[in-house]
Chain A
């Protein structure tokens, strides 16, 4: 059953769609209202990253660095070192892509609370093509000590994640966002806490648990629904990839005895890898990975690309059937 605090996403007529970057944009403005230490820095992408909304509200706390993502990270590091809480906004391929070493040294080793906002992640960026579709950023960020990594499943969760990381004036964090409008699954009532996974779909005697993050949670829920009567499937929203909610993951592995991970990211090094690294050392069960198989993205519509890269509900259903056979 779909968790009761969620919207009825299986009713296509009432399905609301919104990009996660919008939830972030509102979250940043509201966080800015309650904490004057919050600063927004942007590298010539203020409209598409929704930084513009903060800029309009707090012009003196908005800083433009130009097309210079390495500088974006280092200036923010200095400001955080001083006592501000800087948010840095760009596309994920540029930040944390291009400025990875600056993030590693000046933000993570320094241990300063810079909040890295990577917009336009995944193939769902669409027509811009491979150069603009970040498929490595979860890996890059979760490998860094001190970094918190959050991948919200919809705009409402993105809002809550933004205000949550804004409250933390000690640790750096990475928030991964998407460009496309995607279904709004969660509501005001849905609990959100950094480091806590949640079951969004729960059945009796589950045979498989799908662990998903980002916009893929919706596809996973659709797959679980379609499999009703054939295979009993739980769906977990793993919004925080680091620190990993090992307790909840272990519980699902023990209960279902098989896992399918689903993410809009390279399979190598992503969320599925984090889950597998943990389970391989604690409780081994068969795992199937849904994600991008060592390829770059390309131009197309999000729907065309989800299909081409095996990220749609059909591919998830096949993976669930396969993992059951491997039990």
Chain B
């Protein structure tokens, strides 16, 4: 971890861009699925799989690996794409998303693909599972860290707060939660559907250390995780402010893109937008 050089940051940003391209490709192939959340979490997933996590794609069952738990399972295309780019399985396999007999189920399943760690999709149950792993790991004096990625919408669920209270009570310092604070859910903006603010104060009241960051800045993401791991006596939550649909201007901030895939025309246009880094460069860095 630690400070990243400009070259390292640039490489990670390009990686996140490649992952966004894969997400759009796989969603269009699948013909169903979620677009906004996966795109806005591409930078965070890239930072985790290519820099933060202590893991081995060739040995996914390594007992001392850091655990990355995805609570809001509907954004799993970003995890599949990042894992494929990180070498967990062939990139080709991304084409099987949501198809019959695929390991890449519409919502992540631990039995189909064990390196996903948990099954999710039904919201609000990831923080509890992560806290259970964190509590057990501490009992056995294991040193790996547990990260749980969750959404803002699923903080409507009582189960989330029951688990947040448990982790605060038990001072699970080996647990870090990262919230995709994109301000959208299905029926609209979170503050209209069910207001969450003041969100940071709520977590503080439950005895968590709170960090707020720009969820699209790789260096900031890495720094926040370092700070989280250094905090004694409390679990940490990183509230990552993200832009729903990040990377595709046409859909950014729009909650209607929560749960639909791009059409083939949109796929073509969006691929071009990403391959030219938003028309900043003429040639693509790959075809």
Contact = CB atoms under 8 A, between A and B. Distances in A.
A168 interface: no
A113 B123 CA distance: 27
B120 interface: yes
B78 to A, nearest CB: 17
B132 interface: no
Interface string B189-204: 0000110000000000
Given A128-B106, A131-B109, A132-B121, A66 B193 contact: yes
Contacts of A173: none
B194 A64 contact: yes
A67 B123 contact: yes
A68 B186 contact: no
Contacts of B51: none
A300 interface: yes
B99 to A, nearest CB: 6
Interface in B103-143: 105-107, 109, 119-124
B254 to A, nearest CB: 14
A42 interface: yes
Interface stretch (B81-89, B154-162, B268-276): B154-162
A62 to B, nearest CB: 10
Main secondary structure of the interface of B (DSSP, over half): loop
Contacts of B99: 127, 299-300
B73 interface: yes
A65 B85 CA distance: 39
Nearest to B119: A131
Nearest to A42: B187
A93 interface: yes
Interface size class of A (residues with CB under 8 A): 20 to 34
A132 B106 contact: yes
Given A64-B194, A68-B156, A93-B122, A46 B187 contact: yes
A299 B187 contact: no
Interface string A47-89: 1000000000000000011111011000000000000000000
Interface in A147-202: none
A277 interface: no
A71 B162 CA distance: 14
Interface stretch (A33-41, A229-237, A266-274, A301-309): A301-309
Contacts of A94: 122
B30 A127 contact: yes
Given A44-B156, A131-B119, A68 B194 contact: yes
Contact of A65 (B100, B105, B194): B194
B153 A67 contact: yes
A67 B124 contact: yes
Contact of B105 (A47, A64, A129): A129
Contact of B98 (A71, A93, A127, A308): A127
Given A128-B32, A129-B98, A132-B122, 11 more contacts: A65-B194, A66-B156, A67-B157, A68-B194, A98-B122, A127-B106, A128-B106, A132-B121, A299-B105, A301-B100, A304-B100
Interface of A: 42, 44-47, 64-68, 70-71, 93-94, 97-98, 126-132, 298-301, 304-305, 308
